[in-house]
Structure 1
Amino acid sequence: MLRVVDLPAAIAARGWPRAEWARPFTVDLEVVDEDAPWNAGRHRIVWDGSQVACEPGGGGDVRIGPRGLAAWYAGAADTAMLRRASLLSGGPAEGLDALIGAPRPARMADEF
């Protein structure tokens, strides 16, 4: 179980090993979180070529709630999966996919 309750601190604390292969980008998020209103609002995730940071503000082009944010942050779901599950909506979010650590989301079979 994972819940991101301080997005800027979580972004700063997590390692982003795939970022070094991505071109610099920004993704403007609108975080919708009724249970953690201090975490809700507009955030801009920025990869400037040397570090990943989360800044306040931005256009809120991509809308995401706590369930989608947790799955993305853990590397368990990419943006296409989140869209299919109605956990992410809005504009382009390919930058988020460039940050998660695996070439594709982790999978685990129900049975062995």
Structure 2
Amino acid sequence: ELAGLDVGRWRGRTLDEVGAAEPEAVTRWLTDPDWAAHGGESVRGLCERIGRWLDGVREADGRTVAVVEPETVRAAVVHALGLPAAAFWRLDVAPLTATELSGRSGRWNVRLGRPLE
């Protein structure tokens, strides 16, 4: 459930490579959260999938630690704060940092970008 964004036929290629080969597709991908013509998952689909997982964790007692890709963190923050899926690309999540979601009764607090110790 916590896998990163499935980018379909773009998997294994850099954004620069895909942008050079399919510039219109990359623009659409970065601006339309429902677009998934690369054959993978849309940004909205990722946010919904991660949101379902996060809703299940909310019901559990105690702490949960998840080691995930930055795009999974973005999707969790979008869901936790009730942001529109279009906000996904506006969240800058640096690799190798910690993000903490805490709260009760669905009211999440977010702490982003804490360096790993």
Q: TM-score, normalised by structure 2?
A: 0.23
The structure carrying a bigger strand percent of its residues is 1
The structure carrying a bigger helix percent of its residues is 2
Q: TM-score, normalised by structure 1?
A: 0.24
Tell which structure's C-alpha radius of gyration is larger: 2
Q: Flag the structure with more relative contact order, 1 or 2, with Cα contacts below 8 A and sequence separation at least 6.
A: 1
